[in-house]
Structure 1
């Protein structure tokens, strides 16, 4: 059975957008910003919700939200998300950024450091070099941004589901691909991260990088590159985990989050 059964779905209006979110648990607050397919439940979030209040947001133009009319920079998206969290009455919180959501999380922490108790980045698509990617092809995203039509994914070859993620069948995979293409057409990824790098070097927010040994997008060299950019970061390499650490190595992900929350 897919995870997330104990999470309830809500939405909040902010800056003219209707922002969906899922929530479960009580205690210290953990806010999660999703990867490129948008809001997604996970085994790790189910476990965390047993001890903490866990909230995952679906950013404007991501996941099941309507496509954006124009490009939105990730640094501006972070401002919207920060306001949504404040509207929920949450003053300070531990922040997770997954994959492309890692840039959103870092921009939020950079612009509102007083609100973020800690920052955990799960295989984030930020601060990487082309040589840190298994298949470096950002030209595809640039083409979408220039107006190229999104490819038909109905016949896309889907990889076999991971043993710890059996619900991720071909239909699940293709639905995620559709959502990614919609979002990528209106993002500024990879964007100009020079201001973000300056913040990273100052090292105000406790930061942990999680990367799986079987990550299919990021090479292991990325962890070393990230450590150069973020010298104070704690790097955790998780054996056997793919890009989706929350589902393929949930126990290790939860242990890392517990270490962050407990400080």
Structure 2
């Protein structure tokens, strides 16, 4: 059985830790469990990877206080770090996980080393919405599955995809995730982020248009922006994306802990 952290409201959050090296927390997208990372987690074997089931997914409980928000999910991440005994970690969040990561970095700067934000948005007045036709097809039960796969990876990617949703979620949790993602607004908060930040985006991302990545990078002091030509929303499943993340993390190692007795 995987370990569990307990959030401030009593919600149990399932997680697991694998490997050695500097800790790296991987945060999944909306309505997905830690399985989101299953096909690429091994690519980060040089790090001590931490993956968790966002409240309402996988082995985690539904939000006990019914507070479905990205800022609340960020507090759950901190609870996982506390339970795992990790004082500071690199953070890589994609899609809704990137929204959550923004709040971790803004509200808990001392817990974050390097920050990678992928296929995401700061929300608020700077958000760029998808084409209305994309939203219409996603809302249509007859088209949703085909459209989601197209948006994530396109027809050139064969076989199962780990990013098409957690079918064990309760209806309340699924609605809560949609609400949390749609209402995310860290526009005023992200300029205060002090962590070295890489913003990654697929140039052909129709679910979260790439203008969101550009605007997010412009809001965070010193942030680096990389736009991957031809990549869609699930760009992070591609080896070239992993190379960019590993390059950035290597350039921004965690600071050494203070020596015993140091002031």
Residues 25 and 52, structure 1, Cα contact 8 Å, conserved in 2: yes
Residues 11 and 62, structure 2, Cα contact 8 Å, conserved in 1: no
**Given the alignment, which residue of 13, 16, 20 partners 2:14?**
20
* Structure 1 residues 85 and 178, CA gap change in structure 2 (3 angstroms): same
- Indicate the larger mover: 77-86 or 120-129: 120-129
Aligned to 2:60: 65
Q: Secondary structure at the match of 1:95?
A: strand
Q: How does 1:229-244 map to 2 (within 5 A)?
A: 229-244=219-234
* Structure 1 residues 131 and 246, CA gap change in structure 2 (3 angstroms): closer
Distance in 1 (alpha carbons) for counterparts of 2:172 and 2:209:
26
Q: How does 1:33-44 map to 2 (within 5 A)?
A: 33-36=27-30, 37-39=32-34, 40-44=36-40
Distance in 2 (alpha carbons) for counterparts of 1:257 and 1:55:
16
Distance in 2 (alpha carbons) for counterparts of 1:131 and 1:125:
6
Q: How does 1:64-103 map to 2 (within 5 A)?
A: 65-68=60-63, 70-103=66-99
Q: How does 1:43-58 map to 2 (within 5 A)?
A: 43-49=39-45, 51-58=46-53
* Structure 1 residues 137 and 85, CA gap change in structure 2 (3 angstroms): farther
TM-score w.r.t. the length of structure 2 is 0.75
Give the unaligned 5+ runs of structure 1.
Answer: 1-8, 141-150
* Structure 1 residues 12 and 251, CA gap change in structure 2 (3 angstroms): same
Aligned to 2:119: 123
Q: How many residues align?
A: 238
Give the unaligned 5+ runs of structure 2.
Answer: 253-263
* Structure 1 residues 100 and 93, CA gap change in structure 2 (3 angstroms): same
Q: CA deviation at 1:134?
A: 2.6
Distance in 1 (alpha carbons) for counterparts of 2:234 and 2:170:
15
What are the Cα deviations for residues 171-195 of structure 1, in whole angstroms up to 9, with x where unaligned? x84x5477496545224333363xx
Distance in 2 (alpha carbons) for counterparts of 1:98 and 1:56:
13
Distance in 2 (alpha carbons) for counterparts of 1:253 and 1:34:
15
* Structure 1 residues 73 and 232, CA gap change in structure 2 (3 angstroms): same
Distance in 2 (alpha carbons) for counterparts of 1:206 and 1:222:
19
Q: CA deviation at 1:121?
A: 0.6
TM-score w.r.t. the length of structure 1 is 0.75
Residues 64 and 179, structure 1, Cα contact 8 Å, conserved in 2: no
What are the Cα deviations for residues 101-136 of structure 1, in whole angstroms up to 9, with x where unaligned? 111111111111011001101111433768723335
- Indicate the larger mover: 233-242 or 16-25: 16-25
Q: How does 1:191-206 map to 2 (within 5 A)?
A: 191=183, 193=185, 196-206=186-196
What are the Cα deviations for residues 128-179 of structure 1, in whole angstroms up to 9, with x where unaligned? 7687233359999xxxxxxxxxx8958854246754562229xx84x54774
